[in-house]
Structure 1
Amino acid sequence: MNLELALRMTEAAVRQAVREGVPISVAVLDEGGHLVSFQRMEGAGIAGPGLAQGKAYTAVALRASTAELAPRTAPGGDLHGLPRDGLVCVGGGIPLWADYGEGWRVVGGIGVSGGTTTQDVECAEAAAEVWRTR
């Protein structure tokens, strides 16, 4: 993960948000959960910055999309009772994978907040596509 790529990813998420008609906050983190790039659109909600970073962090830490984690952390799910400190298990967070010869590993994450869960996922997917086609 580098700054130039992270900026392209946040821009892709913002372009998708414009198409969706929703103001978002978007964060890109590296494999250590450190913020590399962040954008907050004008009019985005006050909770968005924290939620976007939390979704990206969760995707990196648990190596899974937050949309997949949501039902798993609900009552009856295999991860029910997972401590929630710093974790946001709501759609909009996607881990970024890369092959480093010895296998695939998570090298970063994208998090989006501000729209519906579906809109957040769509914006995060737009950013993740930049990663996949780099």
Structure 2
Amino acid sequence: MKSKAVLEFADVKTIASAAEAEALKNNWAVTIAIVDDGGHLLHLQRLDGAPPISSHLAPAKANTAAMGRRDSKIYEDVINGGRMSFLSAPYLHGMLEGGVPIMKDGQCIGAVGVSGVKSSEDAQIARAGMAAIGL
């Protein structure tokens, strides 16, 4: 039997705080979502001015990154590359850049999803949050 790290509430708060700081530093109005390794929502924060749809997109991106164990951008690239049938993949609803898995010792322990600005900026915010816990 293997042991696996898990996100604790303190980790979630640290990630959320750092992601929020990155967004505010750049004057970006976004929604930040953090999920566990099964894609279950642990944190949702919609900053002032963030578009309402972002409160649906951020958790979907996080869920996709956690369930797929890879950046959600990979799925966007597959679809943009012409594989349109991938849109029918079950349980993956956030196939846009901005969802990043949280990996520790080769295991996915959760994911961060951000929505509200350019997709590359969403991913930048997610990665800033993860960096706050050393990942």
Asked if Structure 1 and Structure 2 have the same fold, meaning a TM-score greater than 0.5 normalized by the shorter chain, the answer is yes
More deviation, 25-34/77-86 = 77-86
Of 117, 123, 126, 1:124 maps to 126
Moved over 6 A (4+): none
Structure 1 unmatched ranges of 5 or more: none
Please tell me the root mean square deviation across aligned C-alpha atoms, in Å: 2.0
Structure 1 pair 18–81 and aligned structure 2 pair: CA distance change class (3 A): closer
How do 1:18-57 residues align onto structure 2 when only pairs under 5 Å count?
A: 18-57=24-63
Is 1:109 the counterpart of 2:111? The answer is yes
Given candidates 89, 97, 103, the residue that maps to 1:97 is 103
What is the TM-score with the length of structure 2 in the denominator?
A: 0.85
Structure 1 position 65 matched with structure 2 position 65? no
Shift of 1:94: 0.3
Counterpart contact for 1:72–1:79, Cα < 8 Å: no
Instruction: Describe the SS at the equivalent of 2:101.
Output: strand
Deviations 1:88-124 (A, max 9, x none): 111110001122xxxx221100000011112111101
- Going from structure 1 to structure 2, the CA distance change for 1:64 and 1:82 (only over 3 Å counts) comes to farther
**Is contact 1:98–1:106 with CA below 8 Å preserved after alignment?**
yes
Q: Distance in 1 between matches of 2:10 and 2:124?
A: 22
Matched pairs, number: 129
Change (3 A) 1:71 1:86: closer
Out of 74, 93, 108, which is 2:80 matched to?
74
Q: TM-score, normalised by structure 1?
A: 0.86
